[in-house]
Chain A
Amino acid sequence: MVSHITRRQGMANSYGSSKKKPIGGMILFGMVSFALYAVLLVKQDMVNEYIGLGGLYAFFPILIAFIISFVHGSFTGKFWTVLGIEASKRKKEVK
């Protein structure tokens, strides 16, 4: 019981102290993500032309998808963290 309460208190403290929020990272990834989307939409005619060729150019959309998923995914993850929406601290692991 004691250990239970201690664990809970530890959890409560971690709420109270609130870890440093990744505001800088969010802004950085957000800006890069915005820039990537801007390039994609501004140069959409050229991008479409190459992707429409198919064949070896098939790697092109896959590569774009991986890059954007990394950058934009990092941004959205940090976005929710900054807003304070994080995973439950009680249940980190499913057994």
Chain B
Amino acid sequence: MHDIVSAAANFIHLDVVNVLYLFAVGFVGGLVSGFIGSGGAFVLTPGMMSLGVPGLVAVASNMCHKFPKALVGSIKRAKYGQVDVKLGIVLGISAEAGVLYGAHIQEGIKKSFGDAGSNLYVSVAFVVILAVVGGFILRDAWKTYRSGNMHEEEEKVTKLARWVQSVNIPGTMVYFKSLNAKVSVLFTIPLGFATGMLAATIAVGGFIGVPSMIYVLGAPSLMASATELVIAFVMGLGGSFKYALHGLVDIRLAMIILAGSLFGIQLGAIGTTYVKPFMIKVVMGIIMVIVLFSRGLMVPVYMSQLGLIHTLGETTVKALKSTSFAIMALALLLGAFIVLRAMWQGRRAERAATQEVLEHGKI
């Protein structure tokens, strides 16, 4: 009973400013999610905590806004023929297992090394994964840009993906429409698992899920980012239920963020129909690399708390924390700006083409 009372006491008082703030962050997060399949969570969780929401309630509430958002986004993108439901569900189920295992590791680290140890683990995971995967995506996007192929609708399937698609392990092969090939589930399971583990660690599984679908399985960027929404739905639903069993979901926070993010996700999904597949990689890569710097700034703070380096002054810690959060917010805003700009340009080009055809028609 004590737990229940303390859990209920975790729910903060909401005023108009808080509501507007959550709505706005939800909108921007939704816009980016609708476009690249994930994102927003890394700002939302610390954003809620800055309002005084306890960490676990922030994570739980974030997850409870994520699954309905992903559901609405995936339905919208399915209308554009971009979703591979089967691949999403297969990856989503193994991602669920990854979430549980990732949470288990987190608990173990927290028990052994305390909050600072757990935060250090999260930040190092952020930096290493985002550096490797984000760097790779940006390099690929840059190569496409340099080669002048960025206007091509067809993307080249990587050598790795061609090999994965060529391996035949009887009894494990499943046909996926996004790949237009049969792939062994023995390849998809570890990818889903890694996506889930990352989601449990840094709250954004898509940073593994989307690139792995593109580069390891050979899915087109647009389909990978749309299918990620199905994975996010499966993972989010299971995760939300798990947290809800312990009474940790603040449904008011979750639904206010959802109110903003459902405007954003519809717009982000519409945006994907105006851009070249190459833009998905650009937005994702840029966000990942900027967030990397944001988390990198926090590494010395946690190291000092663990006594691994000399203790940092209170002012330094505060400055690092604020800068880190500001950079993270910047990453999301920049992502949203690129999405809106690309959409605006796409719409303008389409209108111009239509106008041209009309004028030709008159002549």
In the complex, are the beta carbons of A72 and B262 less than 8 A apart?
yes
- A12-B357, A76-B266 as given contacts; A61 in contact with B350, CB under 8 Å: no
Q: Whose C-beta in chain A lies nearest to the C-beta of B236? A: A65
In the complex, are the beta carbons of A47 and B270 less than 8 A apart?
no
In the complex, are the beta carbons of B240 and A62 less than 8 A apart?
yes
In the complex, are the beta carbons of B68 and A48 less than 8 A apart?
no
Provide the main secondary structure of the chain A interface: helix
Q: Which residues from 69 to 90 on chain A have a C-beta closer than 8 Å to any C-beta of chain B? A: 69, 72-73, 76-77, 79-80, 85-90
Interface assignment of B21: CB less than 8 Å from any CB of chain A: no
Closest chain-B Cβ to A45's Cβ sits at a distance in Å of 9
Pick from B81, B222, B252, B262: contact of A73, CB under 8 Å: B262
User: Which residues of B are found within 8 Å of A60, using beta-carbon distances?
Assistant: 244, 251
In the complex, are the beta carbons of B81 and A93 less than 8 A apart?
yes
What total of chain B residues lie within 8 Å of the partner, measured CB to CB?
58
In the complex, are the beta carbons of A86 and B270 less than 8 A apart?
yes
Q: Which of B353, B357, B360 has the most CB of A within 10 A?
A: B357
Closest chain-B Cβ to A76's Cβ sits at a distance in Å of 4
Chain A binder among B3-11, B112-120, B295-303: B3-11
Interface assignment of A20: CB less than 8 Å from any CB of chain B: no
In the complex, are the beta carbons of B353 and A8 less than 8 A apart?
yes
Pick from B249, B251, B266, B360: contact of A40, CB under 8 Å: B251
What total of chain A residues lie within 8 Å of the partner, measured CB to CB?
47
**What mask results when residues 2 to 42 of chain A are scored 1 for a CB within 8 Å of chain B, else 0?**
00010011011001100000000000000000000100110
User: Which residues of B are found within 8 Å of A91, using beta-carbon distances?
Assistant: 80, 153, 273-274
- A58-B241, A79-B263, A92-B81 as given contacts; A72 in contact with B258, CB under 8 Å: yes
CA distance A48 to B8 in the complex (A): 6
B residues engaging A (CB < 8 A)? 4-5, 7-8, 10-11, 14, 64-65, 67-69, 71-72, 75-76, 79-82, 153, 220, 222-223, 237, 240-241, 244-252, 254-255, 258-259, 262-263, 266-267, 269-270, 273-274, 277, 346-347, 350, 353-354, 357-358, 360-361
Q: Can you list 25 A-B pairs with a CB-CB distance of less than 8 A?
A: A8-B357, A12-B361, A37-B255, A37-B259, A44-B252, A48-B8, A51-B251, A52-B8, A53-B4, A57-B247, A58-B241, A61-B240, A61-B251, A68-B68, A69-B262, A77-B72, A85-B270, A87-B79, A88-B273, A88-B274, A90-B350, A91-B274, A94-B81, A94-B82, A94-B223
